[in-house]
Structure 1
Amino acid sequence: MQGSLWADSQKQEEQPKAPEIDLSELESLFSTSAATDASRADKGGSKRGTSISKSETVHLIDMRRANNCEIMLTKIKMPLPDMMNAVLALDTSVLDIDQVENLIKFCPTKEEMEMLKNYNGKKEMLGKCEQFFLELMKVPRVESKLRVFSFRINFSSQVKDLRSNLNTINSASKEVKDSLKLRQIMQTILTLGNALNQGTTRGSAVGFKLDSLLKLSDTRAKNNKMTLMHYLCKLLAEKMPELLDFHKDLHHLEAASKIQLKIVAEEMQAVSKGLEKVEQELTASENDGAISMGFRKALKNFLDTAEADVRSLISLYSEVGRSADSLAQYFGEDPARCPFEQVTSILVIFVNMFNKARDENARNAEAEKKKLEKEAMKEKQNTSGK
């Protein structure tokens, strides 16, 4: 730069003269190691050249992602080509759902694929993650195929669980509507209500709201020792004891009360959408060439049974929808305002309160019996003593 020491040194007339240097002395003092190294290189051949040309691993992918990818690959414990063969064969005996989900997580992005496509160096110098990505990139739409594989693995258990839940809902609805014992208990409760409301506008009711069942344990007698639920159980025990075990008619009620129809609908939609994705990938893979031949064959075999399963499931789902609505209508309720989940929840609470009151009545009766027996024994002893 102008004005610098080095710019000024260009002006020879102003430059102070440097002392004369004895080059032989300088070399003997400071160039020994360099000369020796040169000599060694000449004698030993390629040692020095090897250190310069030593190959190093090339990392193109973000180091954190690459490290996580390598950790994931250690858990698969098989050569990459074997792994991809298992994916293309939809072989569930080789890869499980966790491994497939991890492979999906580490599918290369568009940017990463472009980076690898534009790499001009030796493939062998790339890191494990980069080599893994290159292996995945050999398969057209590899992420879509992996998602199809994931759906294939989950399908059987997903359909099984859905069918089980739908059958439970159907069974619970049928059991409630078919139970003559429950019907008689409902009629008894209506009769009690009309008797209590005698002389009022509510004294000639032909039915009651379902949530009124929950008020039976809140309505207490004047002496505060008994609730209307206790009285109902007492009345039935005396007049119609065969009704006390009505809960045995309702085997599926409690299980059905834990099923949310909204979640069932979402799962049904997920299965249908998943099957659509499978069909789309099957069509798209027609143009893949030889690499997808085994994949297409395995996918066709899966679709043959899967489509039939889903059709059957959709039919059952429609039937269950009608069955669930009919349960609310059976109690005179509007399904829109009192959906299946609410009906079953109320009935489960009612059953539990009924059984609790029935058992308490039995314990109190037993205690009263023992008390009377004790008093009678005491009276007898007093009489004999006189």
Structure 2
Amino acid sequence: MPVFNWVALKPSQIDGTVFTELNDEKVLQELDMSDFEEQFKTKAQGPALDISALKVKATQKAPSKVTLMESNRAKNLAITLRKGGRSIQDICTAIETYDQQALSLDFLELLLRFLPTEYERTLIGKFEREQQPPEELSDEDQFMIRFSKIPRLAERMNVMIFLGNFNDTAQLLMPVEGPQSLPWAEVRWGGGRGVGADAALSQLLEMKSTDRKQTLLHYLVRVIMEKYPELTGFHTELHFLDKAGTVSLDGVLQDVRSLQQGMELTRREFMRQDDSPVLKDFLRVNSEVMEKLQADSRTAKEAYESAVEYFGENPKTSPPTTFFPMFMRF
């Protein structure tokens, strides 16, 4: 027959449609398919199909299995569950008790993509109301039913991922201990010497001499070397300047805000389930850590803005990645 372009419906789209009422065997008994094929076959078409064999095949066709998920989503969930390497009950119990030892962080992040949708919850409800046997379901569908029964599932999953990421993220955000932890403060006060400037730093590179052979920055360097040689070593007092030039202050502040949001979510979950030793211990150990991170982030923001404004720059348009390299070039 000529090619006929059509799109097969997904199993989840068939429920409640006319296709669930069709009986292939009955239709094949009633219709003369040989006449249909003869009328519509292409010129290159071979001999007609054996309709009797087709009828037998339709009779032997196994009944379709009940499914609660779209096929690709079910397949991806099956792959994820195999990576977890645990039973349905073990996985769900670990989530209910916030057991981070039982489930890896990578597995939790993968599983977060399979939170039951509203449509899937509707299908689950219908399946249970009809009291259909669970054996009709695939393993991933059975998992989805048990998974959907966990109270505040999304909140629990996000809390577990937050708990797993907190220590590493907090360590990355902690400032280096000691007076060298704020290079922008060192720039602001110049190690006590007061390396000030009346013009904005960006203008030092923009303003050129009459012969266009040197910038104002080049001129200042020559004057300092000739008239104030004791200041030529000022850069030795500016520690970690190169590293400061690679920091995104906005990114750091956003990371701290994200941690605070995760901490607030954890506190809300603990208030709802105050018998959880995992949440209780986490809050006891890390609440002060979070407070220190917030205080340090405020200090960093204020110190950086003060240093930038001191040199006539705008903190909103002069991020560390452009501000500190000016001193490196100087």
TM-score (norm 1): 0.59
Instruction: Provide the C-alpha distance between the structure 1 equivalents of 2:268 and 2:136, rounded to a whole number of angstroms.
Output: 37
2:252 to 256, 261, 264: 264
- Offset of residue 235 of structure 1: 3.9
1:321 equivalent in alignment to 2:308? no
TM-score (norm 2): 0.68
Structural RMSD (CA): 3.4
Instruction: Provide the C-alpha distance between the structure 1 equivalents of 2:259 and 2:190, rounded to a whole number of angstroms.
Output: 34
Q: Report if the CA contact (8 A) 2:308-2:323 is conserved.
A: no
Question: What stretches of structure 2 of length at least 5 have no aligned partner?
Answer: 1-58
Equivalent position amino acid for 2:289 in 1: D
- Offset of residue 141 of structure 1: 1.9
Task: Quote the residue 1:276 is aligned against.
Answer: 264
- Offset of residue 310 of structure 1: 1.6
Check 1:94–1:341 CA distance in 2 against 1; reply closer, same or farther (3 A cut).
farther
Check 1:169–1:245 CA distance in 2 against 1; reply closer, same or farther (3 A cut).
closer
Equivalent position amino acid for 1:78 in 2: R
2:281 to 301, 318, 323: 301
Task: Quote the residue 1:150 is aligned against.
Answer: 161
Instruction: Provide the C-alpha distance between the structure 2 equivalents of 1:314 and 1:123, rounded to a whole number of angstroms.
Output: 50
Check 1:87–1:341 CA distance in 2 against 1; reply closer, same or farther (3 A cut).
farther
Instruction: Provide the C-alpha distance between the structure 2 equivalents of 1:84 and 1:160, rounded to a whole number of angstroms.
Output: 30
Larger radius of gyration: 1
- Which of 149-158 and 82-91 deviates more? 82-91
Check 1:213–1:102 CA distance in 2 against 1; reply closer, same or farther (3 A cut).
same
**Structure 1 residues 88-108: Cα deviation after superposition (integer angstroms, max 9, x where no partner):** 343334423221112111121
1:213 equivalent in alignment to 2:193? no
Equivalent position amino acid for 1:212 in 2: Q
Task: Quote the residue 2:235 is aligned against.
Answer: 247
Check 1:183–1:168 CA distance in 2 against 1; reply closer, same or farther (3 A cut).
closer
Moved over 6 A (4+): 165-169
Give the 5 Å matches for 1:328-343.
328-331=308-311, 333=312, 338-339=314-315, 342=318
* Secondary structure class of the residue paired with 2:306: helix
Task: Quote the residue 1:46 is aligned against.
Answer: none
Check 1:168–1:261 CA distance in 2 against 1; reply closer, same or farther (3 A cut).
farther
Instruction: Provide the C-alpha distance between the structure 2 equivalents of 1:69 and 1:297, rounded to a whole number of angstroms.
Output: 30
Give the 5 Å matches for 1:157-236.
157-164=168-175, 171-180=182-191, 183=194, 186=196, 207-215=198-206, 219-220=208-209, 222=211, 227-236=215-224
Q: Give aligned pairs, total.
A: 269
Q: Report if the CA contact (8 A) 2:95-2:157 is conserved.
A: yes
Equivalent position amino acid for 1:211 in 2: S
**Structure 1 residues 217-271: Cα deviation after superposition (integer angstroms, max 9, x where no partner):** x52464x665554444344444444433322222233333333343333323222
Instruction: Provide the C-alpha distance between the structure 1 equivalents of 2:205 and 2:123, rounded to a whole number of angstroms.
Output: 67
- Offset of residue 298 of structure 1: 0.9
- Offset of residue 153 of structure 1: 0.9
Q: Report if the CA contact (8 A) 1:173-1:323 is conserved.
A: yes
1:80 to 77, 82, 88: 88
Q: % of aligned pairs identical?
A: 25
**Structure 1 residues 25-46: Cα deviation after superposition (integer angstroms, max 9, x where no partner):** xxxxxxxxxxxxxxxxxxxxxx
Check 1:315–1:353 CA distance in 2 against 1; reply closer, same or farther (3 A cut).
closer
Check 1:136–1:248 CA distance in 2 against 1; reply closer, same or farther (3 A cut).
same
**Structure 1 residues 189-244: Cα deviation after superposition (integer angstroms, max 9, x where no partner):** x6xxxxxxxxxxxxxxxx333333223xx52464x665554444344444444433
Instruction: Provide the C-alpha distance between the structure 1 equivalents of 2:192 and 2:268, rounded to a whole number of angstroms.
Output: 53
Q: Report if the CA contact (8 A) 1:66-1:129 is conserved.
A: yes
* Secondary structure class of the residue paired with 1:179: helix
